Amino acid sequence: FSLIIFLAGVLQSSFFPALSMLSASPDLVLLAVIGFAVYDGERSGAAAGIGGGILVEALGGGANILLFPLFYMLCGYIFGIVSRIFLNRNFISWLLYILIGISLRGALSLVHSIFTEIDVTIYLILTGVIIPEYFITLVCSVPMYFVVRAVSRPFHKKIEME
């Protein structure tokens, strides 16, 4: 799981920002954290969230070292519990979790930007960062679903055989 989180963080912070046609980069780490929470439970989701959040802060040069690890950990833990109790582990429920997760991420980014940026309007934050990031993350969630599901499946088969 660590390798997927690491690759997602590196792609999120280096590859996608280098593409000039995209004004925002997808939150691949959030997708991986939610995926591991859904397919491996709340403990794996929370652990992946802490590690992924620290990685995002380290690679992105974030000034607030607690914001992303705390947010990703809570997402991993809560989505892990919700997927175990309420919804099945299928593609439709995956999209629902992703929509909720990236909506919460957008709200967090908006509040963070309002308090840290002095000369930026809410309209500029929404149209320049949050909405493009929302849609590019949603598009990237489709291939990430198959990656996370494929990585999680061998571990569950091994546990079932024992």
pLDDT in tens, 116-133: 766 778 888 888 888 988
> What percentage of the chain has pLDDT greater than the value 90?
33
Could you give the 3-state DSSP secondary structure of residue 130? helix
**Does residue 14 carry a pLDDT above 50?**
yes
What pLDDT score was predicted for residue 162?
42
Which pLDDT score, from 0 to 100, does residue 76 have? 94
* Token pair 């997402």 in the structure block, residue: 75
DSSP 117: -
Q: Would you say 38 and 59 are in contact if contact means Cβ atoms under 8 Å apart?
A: no
Helices assigned H by DSSP within the chain = 2-10, 16-18, 28-40, 42-60, 67-85, 91-116, 122-125, 131-161
Q: What is the pTM of this model?
A: 0.87
- Rounded distance between C-alpha atoms, residue 106 and residue 72, angstroms: 13
Burial (CB count within 10 angstroms: exposed 0-12, middle 13-18, buried 19+), residue 89: middle
Q: Record the tokens describing residue 15, joined without a space.
A: 């590859």
The per-residue pLDDT for range 35-70, each reduced to its tens digit, is: 999 988 899 999 999 999 998 888 875 556 678 889
Tokens at 84, concatenated: 């175990």
* Residue found by looking up tokens 């709340």 in the block: 42
Residue type, 24: A
